[in-house]
Amino acid sequence: MYIPASAHWCLPPPNSAFGIFFAWGLPFESDLIGNFEMAKTRISVYIDGFNLYHSTLQHTHPDCRWLNLTELSRRLINPKTEEIRNVYYFSAIATWLPQKAEKHLLYIQALRSVGVKDILGKFSVRERKCRLCGGLYESHEEKKTDINIAITLLGDAVADKFDTALILSGDSDLAPVAAKLRQICPSKKIGVIVPKGQSAMKLKQSADFFKKIQGKDLRKSLLPDQIAYKNKTIIAPQGWL
């Protein structure tokens, strides 16, 4: 059998039944019988928390707010050829709304229990003018999510932490991230997971592929109503399941 010069064997450690075979630059695992299995594609998932919440969970699927983002991510890939390496959740805490903030922090702890890495931005206060009466009022605007996603994704790409990145968002402001990824790491792929009720046209055009979230995947990806984590019990807020 002809084997190109780029292919070579890596000898297994002593007493090991496995070796690693590299053919044409692709890693394979082999056993003593001679079977070969191609290494799985490494997937990292970057989730825009507020975009997912406001487009899908707040109104159309409020009973799925206690969502297991690790399990949802697994349902968006082909487990035979792909594996999840990292799941990131990007959001911010509405500190001026104590009850909502408490529930949100509870949810973040629940996500940590299933291995999700949270990266939080913040809200800034802006003064706006009422179009009807002309009066001024204060509003809160979430900041840093886009830049946090961009920095984390591109940093992971340079550190070679994934082969394919999945952005779960419908925010077109993230389209330049895909362009930059192609520029600095052209071998990496980027996919878009589109929340229900969003088109994400610019973002989809910038990606290698896209998928839509299905309601059945949400319903099958819920956290248990009680979670034991770090010597305490986390209980789902009423109405979230």
**Contacts with 137 (C-beta within 8 Å, 6 or more apart), sequence order:** 127, 128, 129, 130
CA-to-CA separations, 185 to 11, 13, 16, 152, 154, in angstroms, rounded: 30, 32, 35, 14, 9
Are the C-beta atoms of 113 and 87 separated by less than 8 Å? no
Quick one: which of 43, 51, 83 has its CA closest to 213? 51
- State if pTM tops 0.85: no
Count of Cβ atoms closer than 10 Å to residue 81 Cβ: 10
Q: What is the largest CA-CA distance in the chain?
A: 82
Residue 199, phi-psi category: left (phi > 0), alpha (psi -120 to 50), beta (remainder): alpha
Count of Cβ atoms closer than 10 Å to residue 214 Cβ: 12
Indicate the Cα dihedral angle 67, 168, 72, 123, nearest 10°. Answer: -20
Count of Cβ atoms closer than 10 Å to residue 218 Cβ: 22
Residuewise pLDDT in 10s, the chain (241 residues) = 433 443 433 344 445 444 444 444 445 554 555 555 689 999 999 999 999 999 999 888 999 999 999 999 999 999 999 999 999 999 999 988 999 999 999 999 999 999 999 999 986 666 676 777 777 656 657 778 999 999 999 999 999 999 999 999 999 899 999 989 999 999 999 999 998 878 888 899 999 999 999 999 999 999 999 999 999 999 999 989 8
- Supply the DSSP symbol for 188: -
Domains along the chain? 8-38 (no CATH), 41-235 (3.40.50.1010)
